[in-house]
Structure 1
Amino acid sequence: MALHFSQLFEEYDPVEQIDRLSRLQEVSINEKQFAQMIGRCRMYPHLPSGIKKTIPKLSLSDSQISKVVNGYYKDNVFGRNNCEIDLWSLYILFTSANKSSYLDTVLDKNVNAAGFVSTLVKALDSNSEFWYFN
């Protein structure tokens, strides 16, 4: 275990992390994309396992996804702005919704949310087909 922690600290690049997080504020999705993504997030748990393996998972429950939608409309700081939301604000809504998780799953779900939002950035930057937006 100690070896894993030392490797983690040695490989951590704070400049790269700051760049990655800053990029989240530069990329936005519109309300239609947000609605499509939310619908797909709700569909994901019911997909056949073979299809699930090909799609990035967002580890939030249906009630937590509802909290994200509520925040999108009602959060004055991290909610929508002119029918758009930047991915930093979306990440904050994901992690805020996650606060209702059991303590032993909060960290994993926050890491999952960060990875999911990073995947959104890559998909939007590359204009590639992405299940959550199609």
Structure 2
Amino acid sequence: MELVLNSSINEHLVDENEIINKPSSSFIEANTEIVSLDHLEKDCIIPVFSKDNESTISHFQFVDKCQQIIQKLLPGVLQKTPDIRVSHVVKGRIPSAIGKPAKDLEEHEKTIYYERCAFIIDLPSTKQIVNGNELTLSIGGVRAYNQENLYSKKSMEKFKVFIGFKNKVCTNLCISTDGFSNEIRISSIYELEDKMIELFSNYKRDNHLRMMERMIEHKLSETQFAHLIGKFRMFTHLDKHTQKSIFPISLNDSQINNIVKDYYQCPNFSRSPDGSISFWNLYNLFTEANKSSYIDNNLERNVNAYELINDLGKSIQNNIPNWFLHY
């Protein structure tokens, strides 16, 4: 490991009790803590590939490079301070603290890095109103060292990057298929710029907005919603061959439970008085439930929710049989 001495980690951690009430804070909630970019730069050691001791690209480099690229591509557009969430802390100590009881360690004797990191940068001047909700254009990414083989020689490193919107009402991310790449592989941080420019160029922002606006056109009755939830629970128990013939879902059982709870209780996206629920509200129940996903699969599940809602909408609009729907 490359060692960066840590004088005081705590002063760079963000007080979650102060931030949790801010609408822009909780784009992801599962097993994470909020940290500052300064903390990632000054207090975290950098993992290496153990076979050749070559350095990995750090979380700080990733976030900082993304800020630079936004400034280059969108000059003059205000970008907010990155909202950074980390999880799965890896702790260590400096050589002089060998054998010292953990409770007696001084702050400067501790080392730390995080296996997983997710961040989002909001561009508050690029707002849109969709179905009565204010959405803000946002850019972000995920880095998860658990998806790298750090016991080998240095190889191409994997990153996930997205461009999409964040719903101000609930801080849910709205990410379309063409606004997300989960297979960016680079050998240096400088290659990230080309990959991000390619992603941003292929992102069809207007089409994404239209697709979300159209979600209000379709709805499920209470009976249809109950049928959908039942099918969700059945899906994971189907044989693999049958699953491949059905549109995949990636939400887990506890998230499905949260969808049902919010169908009744969510102050913003619950059912109508007659028990029906619009696809826009249903979509936001999906993305809200997804915030409990771990960092390393959160974005994929978010995109899966968008694709699933659109698939259900196409089936209703074109009267095409759908395994999840009750007609």
Report TM bin, short chain: over 0.9
| 2:316 aligned residue | 124
TM-aligned CA deviation for residue 32 of structure 1: 1.0
CA distance in 2, matches of 1:85, 1:52: 26
| 2:301 aligned residue | 109
1:6-55 superposed Cα distances (whole Å, 9 cap, x missing partner): 33222222111111010011211111111111000001111011110011
CA distance in 2, matches of 1:24, 1:133: 16
| 1:59 aligned residue | 250
CA distance in 2, matches of 1:39, 1:126: 23
Equivalences for residues 24-103 of structure 1 within 5 A: 24-81=215-272, 82-103=274-295
CA distance in 2, matches of 1:73, 1:96: 14
TM-aligned CA deviation for residue 63 of structure 1: 1.0
* Structure 1 residues without counterparts, runs of 5 or longer: none
TM-aligned CA deviation for residue 4 of structure 1: 4.4
Which amino acid counterpart does residue 79 of structure 1 have in structure 2? S
CA distance in 2, matches of 1:32, 1:5: 43
Larger Rg: 2
- 1:16 alignment partner, SS class: helix
1:43-96 superposed Cα distances (whole Å, 9 cap, x missing partner): 111101111001111211111101000000111320100211111111111111
* Structure 2 residues without counterparts, runs of 5 or longer: 1-183, 185-191
TM-aligned CA deviation for residue 112 of structure 1: 0.7
Which amino acid counterpart does residue 218 of structure 2 have in structure 1? V
Q: Confirm whether residue 7 of structure 1 aligns to residue 178 of structure 2.
A: no
Query: Size of the alignment, in residue pairs?
Result: 134
Q: Percent identity?
A: 38
CA distance in 2, matches of 1:109, 1:89: 17
Q: Which has the higher helix share?
A: 1
Q: Bigger shift: 22-31 or 2-11? A: 2-11
Which amino acid counterpart does residue 280 of structure 2 have in structure 1? W
The TM-score, its normalising length taken from structure 2, stands at 0.40
